[in-house]
Amino acid sequence: MQKQIKAAPTIVYPESDGKPMAETDRHRKLMMNFIFMLENHFEIEQLKEKT
């Protein structure tokens, strides 16, 4: 007799907790700048790998 395997429950991750992304405008700008720098860094790394 074979045991039936049950599917794992679907986990739903919230997109927002309803709180602001940063405490102040300065924090938000810094976070956005860091995100932009990381995106550029990894884009450049991918271009280097292709050549």
Query: 1-51: per-residue pLDDT in tens?
Result: 688 888 888 988 777 888 877 889 999 999 999 999 999 999 988 888 887
pTM of the model: 0.54
16: left (phi over 0), alpha (psi -120 to 50) or beta: beta
Q: In whole angstroms, give the CA distance from residue 33 to residue 47.
A: 21
Note the pLDDT of residue 42.
93
Distances (CA, A) of 22 to 13, 27, 29, 35: 20, 6, 9, 14
